[in-house]
Structure 1
Amino acid sequence: MSTEGGFHVGILVFDDAEELDVVGPFEVLAEWMEHSDLKVHVSTFSRDGDGVRLAKGMRMVPAHSADDVGPLHLLVHPGGWGARALMADPAHLEWLRLVRAQTPVVASVCTGSLVLAAAGLLAGRPATTHHHHYDELAQVDPSVVIDTEARFVDDGDVVTSAGVSAGIDMALHLVARLESDVVARTVRAALQYDPAPPV
């Protein structure tokens, strides 16, 4: 994988995407920029470049549209209630297939994997999603080998995570995989991410 000119990460945003699906990986990958030797650049984009309203009301103005975000090394596709509209949108699914053909790694958070499955990108592959949506993923594509134990599933060019906060774990894994464990641990320490739930 060439990183000439930098390593470009794009996080897709859309109406009713789940907030932490977007900002969890964004925080990890943006912090990676501060510690990486790969000239990492992370940006958000929507299909048309317009602002979006996320699932719980957060409004976001992305940096780019899909047409001007440029070639990516890593695409992150969040989930959330808005993923259901995308699963039924032939134009989005075709766009996703085209992007997948040009992008070395495509990653999804939570129910973003349902959209990947609807586009045919998970056929016959191991994957995961939010634990409330295993059955739905199986309905979208019965050939998907669903891992009900993993926080994330790395199948090389396609990586899927379980629900919401699991996207943070997946993003840290991707930093370790794409650069090094040392850099990933540095990012984790900078974010003081050390889960010890109080309840």
Structure 2
Amino acid sequence: MADDRKNIGILLFADVEELDAVGPWEVLSFWTQNYPQDGFDVLTFSHDGDPVRCAKGLTVAAQYSYADAPALDTLIYPGGRGTRPHLTDDAQLDWVRRQRQAVPLMTSVCTGSLVYAAAGLLAHRPATTYWDSLGQLTELDATIEVRPDDRYVDDGDVITSSGVSAGIDMALHLVDRLAGLERARQVRRGIQYDPQPPV
């Protein structure tokens, strides 16, 4: 990746919810590979750079570790049951706070926002999370303006999204925000994302 390109990093960790990470990856990799002129790259990284076993058993290889990942312009923190230990992991929460100081745009999918809340990033901000974890968001920080009906909440330098498939919507919103509405529509068409649930 060239030094002048902007990097979007998707965090991977044990028991991450598969689609929370892979959904945004599908959107963003289609965008960055098909429209390199926009100047963005997407990458994955884990704490030590090793592969991670996701919540439902899929093993995913990370491209980088915390130590060697390039500087990020956007961080995506997925959810899943693997976020639960992060909520009381002081070292991980300190790492999140350091990212807040260095990364211009912090985003989350599903219960990734709980980690942001535990780290103090969502104080006095609107935010959302997985529907069954909305109460926990309030328990972690009562100052958060919880948005239970929103697929994603864009509060400028922090974007949170609700559960699993909402990460795809959030990623398309990122493309819109970073490269424009027409590009986001091209990406949506390219991955044939046109949800029409049969049930």
TM-score grouping bracket, smaller chain normalisation = over 0.9
Equivalent-residue separation in structure 2 for 1:63 and 1:167 (angstroms)? 21
Do the aligned partners of 1:35 and 1:187 also contact (CA within 8 Å) in 2?
Answer: no
Q: What is the identity, as a one-letter code, of the residue corresponding to 2:93?
A: L
**Secondary structure, aligned partner of 1:149:** coil
Aligned to 1:146: 146
Report the counterpart of residue 185 of structure 1 in structure 2.
185
Q: RMSD in angstroms over aligned alpha carbons?
A: 1.1
Aligned residue pairs total: 197
How far 1:149 moved relative to its partner? 1.0
Q: What is aligned with 1:25? A: 24
- Aligned twin of 2:196: 196
In 1, distance between residues paired with 2:157 and 2:182? Answer: 22
Note the alpha carbon deviations across 1:4-43, whole angstroms, 9 max, x for none.
7111010000000000000000110111101252221111
- Deviation >3 Å, runs of 4+: none
Q: What does 1:108-187 align with in structure 2 at a 5 Å threshold? A: 108-187=108-187
Partner Cα distance (2:35, 2:151) in 1: 25
Partner secondary structure for residue 37 of structure 2: coil
Provide TM-score, normalisation by structure 2.
Answer: 0.97
Q: Secondary structure at the match of 1:37?
A: helix
CA deviation vs aligned residue, 1:37-58 (integer Å, no higher than 9, x gap) = 2221111000111111000000
- Stretches of structure 2 lacking an aligned partner (at least 5 in a row): none
- Aligned 1:74-93 pairs, distance under 5 A: 74-93=74-93
Partner of 1:94: 94
- In the TM superposition, residue 137 of structure 1 has moved relative to its aligned partner by 0.6
The answer on whether the counterparts of 1:128 and 1:160 sit within 8 Å (CA) in structure 2 is: yes
Q: Deviations over 1:154-195 (max 9, x none)?
A: 001000000000000000001001110011000000000001
For 2:66 and 2:189, the matched residues in 1 are separated by 32
- CA deviation string 1:85-141 (max 9, x = no partner): 111100000001101111110100000000000000000000000111110110011
Q: 1:61 maps to which residue?
A: 61
Unaligned stretches of 5+ in structure 1? Answer: none
SS of the equivalent of 2:84 reads: helix
Task: Give the 3-state SS of the residue equivalent to 2:44 in structure 1.
Answer: strand
**Contact kept in structure 2, 1:14 and 1:52, CA below 8 Å:** yes
Change (3 A) 1:25 1:134: same
Give the structure 1 partner of residue 42 of structure 2: 42
